[in-house]
């Protein structure tokens, strides 16, 4: 199973927790606090292979956030390699730290971002980050929105359709056999 951002979001929604709660382990209270901050050292991050990307979820010690910051790498260089677009509720910001990233979306021409460039978009629109050069490609992605049940209603609907499609494909395979 590939743990993409949208699948992790579905899991967090199903568990009625903030996505950071999937990574937070020190047993701190999950009640939101008005004055808070979280320092995270780079040596403490663990990479997570998430579908088409490798992510490092940032500042997972804070729960009930309205943003989900991630450091990411993409290995794919074409949409054929990447597969289907990723979609999830909210908005997304991407900032290129190293290399060049081509951001493909279903409603706009692909845009190539170089080191220091950024893009902000509606993440319900299908999107994909592709590496442009052979060298390392590193970006920061920040997804917005609370982890409330209402925010993930569209995701649940997409998930049910996906499950139906999977069952249909499995039935088709059995018929072909």
**Higher model confidence: residue 87 or residue 158?**
87
Region for 116 from its dihedrals, namely left if φ exceeds 0, alpha if ψ lies in -120 to 50, beta otherwise: left
Domains of the chain and CATH, by start: 5-176 (2.60.120.10)
Q: What is the pLDDT of residue 167?
A: 45
CA gap 109, 64 in Å, rounded: 34
Give me the mean pLDDT over the 95-100 stretch. Answer: 96
- pLDDT, one tens digit per residue, over 19-63 is 777 766 665 555 555 678 889 898 888 888 877 788 888 888 887
Per the structure block, which two tokens stand in for 95? 């900032």
């Amino acid at each position: 199973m590939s743990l993409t951002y949208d699948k992790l979001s579905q899991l967090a929604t199903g568990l009625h927790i903030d996505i950071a709660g999937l990574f937070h382990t020190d047993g701190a209270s999950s009640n939101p606090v008005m004055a808070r901050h979280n320092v995270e050292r780079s040596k403490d991050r663990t990479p997570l292979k998430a579908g088409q990307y490798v992510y490092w979820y940032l500042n997972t010690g804070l729960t009930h956030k309205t943003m989900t910051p991630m450091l990411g790498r993409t290995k794919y260089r074409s949409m054929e390699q990447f597969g289907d677009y990723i979609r999830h509720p909210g908005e997304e910001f991407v900032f290129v730290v190293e290399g060049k990233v081509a951001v493909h979306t279903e409603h706009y021409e692909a845009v190539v971002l170089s080191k220091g460039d950024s893009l902000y978009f509606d993440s319900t629109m299908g999107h994909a980050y592709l590496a442009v050069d052979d060298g390392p490609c590193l970006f920061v992605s920040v997804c917005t929105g609370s982890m409330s049940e209402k925010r993930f209603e569209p995701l649940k609907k997409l998930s049910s359709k996906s499950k139906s499609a999977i069952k249909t494909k499995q039935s088709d395979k059995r018929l072909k056999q």
